[in-house]
Amino acid sequence: MPVVRWDPFREMMNVQDQLNRTFGSFFGERKTSWLPSVDVYDDKEEVVLKADLPGVRPDDVDVEIDENVLTVRGQRSSDHNTDPERFFRIERPTGSFERSIALPQGVRTDNVQAAFEDGILTVRVPKAEEAKPKRIQVTVSGSGQRTIEGHASQKTAD
């Protein structure tokens, strides 16, 4: 299981999102923005983000990476052609959204791929070669060869 580095920026963003949701509903504010659900996971070759964006047109989605922070933003337009007074309930959120995810160290931001299919945005950020696990053959005298798995670590300047 890979070690996940604690990121205080990510934690602050999570707390801010929770506070915005709590106080927005407490004070009765009508929310003009929404947050799509995302999954972010580490594949052996890349870091993958999947975001649920039903009802969002691909042209209304923007993906960017700046200083190892992946940001997905966009807008879902209302498809209500009916007078709002004729609705019994409106629960599907519309408006703008923005999600920022801190990426782990050791990713290459120069070859990012994004695909949009069936309302799901998939962003793939490849890992740098030095961040991938490597197998090293170690010869033990007298007993043949054994394989030992090692992980490269990236040293950062303080």
Question: pLDDT tens-digit profile of 61-94?
Answer: 999 999 889 999 999 988 777 777 788 887 888 8
pTM as predicted: 0.63
> Is residue 16 helix, strand or coil?
helix
Whether 110 maps to a domain, the answer reads: yes
The predicted-structure confidence for 8-30, as pLDDT tens digits, reads as follows: 777 777 787 777 767 765 555 44
Cβ neighbourhood burial of 56 (10 Å; 0-12, 13-18, 19+): buried
Whether 1 maps to a domain, the answer reads: no
The predicted-structure confidence for 96-127, as pLDDT tens digits, reads as follows: 999 999 998 889 988 999 999 999 999 999 99
| Parent domain of 20 | 8-27+37-150
Task: Identify the pLDDT of residue 137.
Answer: 81
Whether 157 maps to a domain, the answer reads: no
Mean pLDDT, range 125-139, rounded to an integer: 80
Q: How many domains does the chain have?
A: 1
Q: 56 or 135, which is more confident?
A: 56
- The C-alpha atoms of residue 139 and residue 136 are separated, in whole angstroms, by 10
Which residue is it, tokens 């580490």? 42
